[in-house]
Amino acid sequence: MTNLIIAYQGEPGAYSEIAALRIGEPKPFESFEEVFAAVENRAADFAVIPIENSLGGSIHQNYDLLLQHPVTIAAETFVKVEHCLLGIHGSTIANARRVLSHPQALAQCRNFFAAHKEVKAEVAYDTAGSAKIIAADNDPSKLAIASKRAGELYGLQILQENLADEEWNITRFFCISHAENTVALQLETGTDSAQYKTSIAFTLPNEPGSLFKAMATFALRGIDMTKIESRPFRKKAFEYLFYVDFTGHQSDPNIHNALCHLREFATMVNVLGSYGVVAS
């Protein structure tokens, strides 16, 4: 499937590019909005978007964009985030004064900055972008936090590996396609629909017991919910949007009935997709 064009946000060497390489030929874009537009306008066959990090939580901007564009989740994949401290050849940690990276990467490496108080964290638009910047600046006092692949691509020296505070730093990516796309992906998931997940978003009337009723539509049918999250609904003050992931495919009769039941009282139900794990 190397002929498939896979949109992603960031520079070559970004963790999103690592996810995209598992599916086809990566094509970089500056913003998530441009990534979604590329899929919507069919300038790309698929796109990979980070949706959740094991340390940083959900990426709410991308959840919002899933609701705003005619796309569907075709697969998911998981990338282990292994931050490296990078510099031009001749750089040292002792002589460093600034370290550039994406805000989330900087936040995931607090222990490093606590141990090197003379080094200032500086926000960049992207992890791989920070590596690109310091390679261009050729300044030994400036370092970057990015992937090992970014270091290789931009000819940088690895000064320290495993820089993150926690070992289990994993980003979950959704692979999205145009809602009318019929191209299949090679998935690790088998034919058993129980190996699939389904993601939905819904809103509820502001009345007693509405969330209990929503959860009961799944619980009473033995459907395993793997994630539930609420956040403010931008279209109406002090109302909330709920995101739920559960095992199974939306075409399963049991899940189909649960969704029909939910639609009887929910003010909005949007099925974001049913999907398996992309082959790595």
By annotation, the residues acting in catalysis are 171, 173
H helices within the chain, ranges in order?
15-21, 32-40, 60-68, 103-107, 110-115, 127-137, 148-153, 210-219, 253-263
* Per-residue tokens: 31: 């913003």
Q: For residue 38, give the 3-state DSSP assignment.
A: helix
User: Of 112, 158, 120, 127, which Cα lies nearest the Cα of 142?
Assistant: 120
CB atoms within 10 A of CB 279: 14
- Between CA 85 and CA 131 the distance in angstroms is 10
What is the residue type of 129? G
Taking only Cα atoms into account, the Rg of the chain, rounded to an integer number of angstroms, comes to 21
Of 80, 84, 96, 88, residue with least CA distance to 146: 84
Are 175 and 76 a contacting pair, CB within 8 Å? Answer: yes
Q: How many residues belong to the chain? A: 280
Residue 108 and residue 56 in contact, taking contact as beta carbons nearer than 8 Å: yes
At how many degrees (to 10) do helices 60-68 and 32-40 cross?
30
